[in-house]
Amino acid sequence: MNTSMNTVDEALASSSPSTVLAGAWEALDLGARVADAVTWDGTGDELLALTAAQSCSAARSLLPLPEHGRPLPLEASEIQYGPSGLTPYADLLDRAHRALADLAGQDAQLSEAAEHAATAARALAAVREP
């Protein structure tokens, strides 16, 4: 996991709801960009990659925009090939799912965002499975 992903991971573990929401937004943004990149690289199941990208976008649309920051950097060369190459990104989406679920309580919109994040994590994790 790179430094930027560590920062998002810390935000997801924060006790501040606004920090958790911003971290989840960033994790979902990164997940969507990774899924978009692998949709077209021919190294896995394109439909699962597309599902992951759409689920990330759906979840992110339910969250408030972060007040600060900029998108995490992502170079296509950073995405490792092979079955475990997407694991760090799928794991980050899973942590975003858990953080949103913990924050949701009675909030239906956050619960829905958490479910989309879970779908994205599962789909991205399965893109390159044999």
- What is the pLDDT, as a whole number, of residue 123? 97
- What is the pLDDT, as a whole number, of residue 72? 62
- The amino acid at residue 31 is G
| Single pTM value for the model | 0.90
- What is the pLDDT, as a whole number, of residue 76? 53
| Tokens representing residue 21 in the block | 């929401």
- What is the pLDDT, as a whole number, of residue 42? 80
pLDDT of 69 higher than 90? no
Q: In terms of C-beta density within 10 A (0-12 exposed, 13-18 middle, 19 or more buried), how is residue 64 classed?
A: exposed
pLDDT of 22 higher than 70? yes
pLDDT of 65 higher than 70? yes
> Nearest-5° angle of CA 80, CA 86, CA 90?
155
